[in-house]
Structure formats: C-alpha cells, structure tokens
Structure 1
Amino acid sequence: MTAFPDITPAIRDRAPALRGRLIANQPLSDLTWFRVGGPAQVLFTPADTEDLAALLAALDPEVPVTVIGLGSNLIVRDGGVPGVVVRLGGKAFGSIAVEAEDLRVGTAVPDMRLAKAAAEAGLDGLAFFRGIPGSIGGALRMNAGAHGGETTDVLVCAEGVDRAGNLRRFTQAEMGFTYRHSAAPDDVIFTSALFRGRPGDRAAIEAEMERVTAAREAAQPIRERTGGSTFKNPPGAKAWQLVDAAGCRGLTLGGAQVSEMHCNFLINRDGATAADIEGLGEEVRRRVRETSGVELHWEIKRIGLDAPAVSR
C-alpha cells in the first residue's frame, strides 16, 4: 500500500488543543461496505462539534477535506484520499433526543436507528428511513429516500461546520433539495439535524417498518458487499430496467459484478478492487447509453485517487 506523507505533526502544530484522534495513512477499506480502497492521508475523528470547528479553522486552506459516514454509498479509490478525511462518531454525533413531535439527531446516527426512535416515540412519517442503509449526514447531503418518502419531507433544519470553521444553520428550504441532491454548500460538514414527525400509532408504524424491511430483503442483495443503488433513476425511468435492457445483469469485471438479484447494485464478488467496481459501473453506463441513449448518473459517491500505474 502506497503511503502518503505524514502531515499529522503539522496539523498538531496548527491546532495543539485538538481532542479528537488524528491517524496518518489509515486504511479506509474496512470503513466502506464494498471493503475496497486505499488509505486516508489523515483520518480525523473529532470529539465534538467544537473540536471539528477548531480543526477546520486551523487547517491549512490548501489541505483538502473529505467527510465520510457509514461508507454504505461510497467507493474509495485504490490510491487513497489525500488530505484530511473526517469521520464523525461517538456520543457527540450519535445521539437522538425526542422533543415533542421533533427528533434532534446527530449526523452519525444510522438512518435505520432514526426510524426506530421515531416509532418508539409514536411519531409517524419517518418509517421510510428504515430502508436506507446510510447515516443522517449522507441523507442530508443527497436527500436520501425510499419507499415513498424523502429526507426533504421531514427535515426542519440542519446544522454543520464549513471549511473555515464557522457554525452554519440551514432551514429545510435553504437545503435546496431535489432528487438525490442538496444544494447546501459542498464544504459544509453536517453535525446535527431536526426532523418532525406526526403523532401516530406505534404498532402501525412498526408494521410499516417491517414491510419496508421485508421489501428490501426480498429485492436487494443486502448481504453482499455492495454500495446500495448505483445510479440515479433518470426522469420517467428506472435505472435498473435500463441496465437490464442493456444486457448487464450479472456482468463482471475483475472481482466486481452487477447483481443478478437487482441490477442497479454492484457487488464485490471476489476480491474486487475499487477500480474493478468503478470500471464496471462505467461499462454499464456505456452500454446503457448505446442501447437506450440515456446517460446514467452515479448515485454512489466516489472519492480519492486511482492507484499508481504499475510499470511492466
């Protein structure tokens, strides 16, 4: 594995009061559902929002910053990620507080856990989060949705920290949500969000969550090393149908495969590299473009550098 230069001493010099963990050349493959990819030049796990703000304010502006969550909808390329990779976790970013019909949630909270907390509080409208295999931070960034619901439907506001270390707050309208997209500034790392449900019957809400779970297990390869839905649905069409019509169901490249079960999912079938998975996705996009004229767009986020070419 190629190592990046260790910049942690320089970061400590600029921000000596940091309380979170700074780790140089930390492998990221174990933090993604695909189980592929190179290291982070620096992995930073902040102690809390103030610690995150302190790091961002002190960091050399030339050092890139990337945030990752649960790694469910993510490809980390084989060459790794330069700069600082921020991963939120722990109690500071993993708590849920019920406030009447609202839930105040840290962005490291898994979407499924938010759905469960809402059900336990007798709050309806958030059961769809049971079908999303990511965290709240990712849901805010891409307006995550499933089974008829989207993040935009239930968000009141979100808070975060920008690249300069400033605390920012965004109302639902200011998030600029569209299909699988938020217009919030790219440099903002979301730290918490406020969601609003409506009073409902707990048993009925839990039954709806069970229906969502059953539907997901029946239709998606959730027990494979996958990254969830690969491509966004084009207007008026379903990505999986276009992929299927292009003859890509079961298609392989290296150790990567288009799922036989649901062909808008790519899977790490047998020791795939990130290049195998991304390359397979690009081949699928090419075949769909040739057969239907439709340009598929990635839903999976891809970060980092390709592995250096090996001379022969």
Structure 2
Amino acid sequence: MGVCAAGPAEGAGVRAVGFPDITPALKAAMPDLRGRLLANQSLAELTWFRVGGPAQVLFTPADEDDLAYFLAHLASAIPVYVIGVGSNLIVRDGGIAGVVIRLAPRAFGEATASGDIVTAGTAALDKRVAEVAASANISGLEFYFGIPGTIGGALRMNAGANGGETKDVLIEARGIGRDGTKHVFSNAEMKFGYRSSGVDPSIIFTSARFRGEIRDVEAIRARMAEVQSHRETAQPIREKTGGSTFKNPPGHSAWKLIDAAGCRGLRVGGAQVSEMHCNFLINTGEATAHDIETLGETVRARVKANSGIELHWEIKRIGVS
C-alpha cells in the first residue's frame, strides 16, 4: 500500500535519534483534521520482524474522509508511506522521513457479507475476511486464511496462496490519491500481475469488494483447515519473520534455489535463513534491519552465483539506513 522498495541499505544500521518535529506545522495547516499525528514514533513494534527506526510522523486517520482531507492539505514535497500489520515489511534502522500512514482496524477494518459478495476495509486481516466469507457460505476466499496480512497489502501485491490470488475474486477497490481525490478501480483497472498491481503506488486503498460462490460451509471450512495446516507444517509462523522473502522466478521455486545455493540456516548478525523454509528470513532475537537486509542480499548473490537466476524481493524495504 503505497510502499516503495528501494535498493539495499549501506552502513552499520545505526538507529536514528529522531527527525525534526513537523507535526505542529501539519496541525496548523489542517485545522479540521480528526486523526492522530505522532512525531518520531517507533515502528519496530508495528512490524513482524520487530526491527527498524521511527517514523518522522505517524498518522492514523479517523476515517476515509479524514484521510482524504489530510492528503489534500499535505505538501506534495513530503513523502508518504503506508503500512498495514507489517508482515511483509522491513523498516530500515534509520527510520522513515516524511509521513507514515497506518489505517486502524476501528475505521478501516470492517468486513461484511451479503449474498455472494464480501466487502472489507483495507485494514481487515486477510484471515478475518476468509472467516466472514465462510460464515456466509461464500467459497473462493479460503486462500486468504493462510496470508498473514491485510486487504490493503493484498490489493497492492495481488496476494495469493494455495492456488488462489486476489485477482481471482476482486470486483473493485476504492482508494485515495496523493491529492485527496477518491477513486474506484475495477478488477481490470488494477492491472494485476504476479505479486503486483499496476495501480499508481501513491494510491492508498481503503476498501474492496469481492465475489465468491455460495457453497456448502463444511467444504469451505475443510479447505480453510487445509490452508492452515500447510502454513503450520511448512512455514516458521511462530518466529519474528516477514513471510516469503523473494518472489518465485518463472518456472522455479525461490526456496529450492536458496537451498541449492547452500543458504539454509545462513546467518548475518541476529538474522537467519529459516531451517524450516529457506524463503523465510528470521530475527533470532537481536537482529537489526541492516542484518536482515544484508542477509537477504547475501542470499541473492549466492543464488545468482550458483544458478545464474536473480531473485527479486517480495518483502518491501523502506526508510534510511
């Protein structure tokens, strides 16, 4: 959701001591703002890796209109980033200059079902959306039960698992542009690709509508149980991790390439390649963001040298080193 993936960080990953506080100026320019603005707010606890520096400003909008108002009055020179539950994200140790927007479940996390359609805010957990669909006898969204993220991230990266993808079920998505303008995107207008969407990255998605098929609830629940069992037996879900690290190259599995390059269990500082699943990186307890990103780049280099195939990051990396 509006997150850019820059190149590898350099340096020792020293944590930032703080950015200039621009919240007073923002509040003065936006007298009708209802959401919360926090200066130099730590982001480490908002990511699954539990690493990273602060946001210069962390903004939590009260609702969609409040978000639109904020963006319409925010100087275009100020960078904007969006984070969800931080399950597919590395925030670098120096933190993030500009504004980080976090859509709270209270305002953007509702999920409802009517007929064969599920409507969800982009702060709704993917797993929760699968549950709502199942409770309404709606099949087709079971794959979300195995994705540890939010609908906002699913829209941005065409999230998928266990044979299903967001593009298979999406009707339309709502979003707000950098200028505060509201937009609606059809499935075709999302321009979905493998783990990607072609929508302008400055768009902040706020809600989406999905269509499934009415089926027997027992069959739906059985499929969800299969998805959960696969996650528990094949992925290190109880570790401090960020999910799948690299995209699968065409015709290949990233984890097999990583394993063949001898990277299973490889460590850099407090970061380690998972012994259970080679396409997962783990914070063993004391890792910095720099450790994790350096480990990822080391894996990429070894895979390239061993197979000639270049891996591309699936995890987003933002901020300064």
TM interval, shorter chain, is over 0.9
1:174 aligns with 2:189: yes
SS at 1:229's partner residue?
coil
1:27 aligns with 2:58: no
Q: TM-score, normalised by structure 2?
A: 0.95
The whole-number CA distance in structure 1 between the counterparts of 2:314 and 2:139 is 27
Look up the equivalent residue of 1:43 and give its one-letter code. L
Q: Who is 2:3 aligned against?
A: none
Q: TM-score, normalised by structure 1?
A: 0.97
The whole-number CA distance in structure 2 between the counterparts of 1:6 and 1:16 is 18
Look up the equivalent residue of 1:25 and give its one-letter code. N
1:109 aligns with 2:119: no
Runs of 4+ in 1 over 4 A off after TM superposition: none
The whole-number CA distance in structure 1 between the counterparts of 2:106 and 2:234 is 34
| Deviation, structure 1 residue 27 | 0.1
The whole-number CA distance in structure 1 between the counterparts of 2:183 and 2:320 is 30
Q: Who is 2:31 aligned against?
A: 16
> Which ranges in structure 1 are unaligned for 5 or more consecutive residues?
307-312
SS at 2:243's partner residue?
strand
The whole-number CA distance in structure 1 between the counterparts of 2:210 and 2:17 is 42
Q: Who is 1:98 aligned against?
A: 113
Q: Who is 1:224 aligned against?
A: 239
Q: Who is 1:309 aligned against?
A: none
Q: Who is 1:310 aligned against?
A: none
Look up the equivalent residue of 1:294 and give its one-letter code. I
Q: Who is 1:193 aligned against?
A: 208
1:133-282 matches, cutoff 5 A:
133-282=148-297
Look up the equivalent residue of 2:235 and give its one-letter code. Q
**What value does the CA root-mean-square deviation take over the aligned residues?**
0.6
1:40 aligns with 2:48: no
1:72-92 CA distance string (max 9 Å, x none):
000000000110000001332
The whole-number CA distance in structure 2 between the counterparts of 1:235 and 1:16 is 51
| Deviation, structure 1 residue 203 | 1.1
| Deviation, structure 1 residue 97 | 1.9
Q: Who is 1:121 aligned against?
A: 136
Look up the equivalent residue of 1:228 and give its one-letter code. G
1:215-264 CA distance string (max 9 Å, x none):
11000000000000000000000000000000000000000000000000
Q: Who is 2:6 aligned against?
A: none
Look up the equivalent residue of 1:116 and give its one-letter code. E
1:162-195 CA distance string (max 9 Å, x none):
1000001100000000100000111000000000
Look up the equivalent residue of 1:153 and give its one-letter code. D
1:3 aligns with 2:18: yes
The whole-number CA distance in structure 1 between the counterparts of 2:203 and 2:64 is 12
The whole-number CA distance in structure 2 between the counterparts of 1:296 and 1:90 is 34
The whole-number CA distance in structure 2 between the counterparts of 1:30 and 1:11 is 25
SS at 2:39's partner residue?
strand
Aligned match for 1:79, one of 67, 87, 94: 94
Aligned match for 1:283, one of 287, 298, 319: 298
Look up the equivalent residue of 2:318 and give its one-letter code. I
1:89 aligns with 2:104: yes
SS at 1:35's partner residue?
coil
SS at 2:27's partner residue?
helix
**RCO comparison, higher one (Cα < 8 Å, 6+):** 2
The whole-number CA distance in structure 2 between the counterparts of 1:104 and 1:241 is 37
The whole-number CA distance in structure 1 between the counterparts of 2:287 and 2:258 is 21
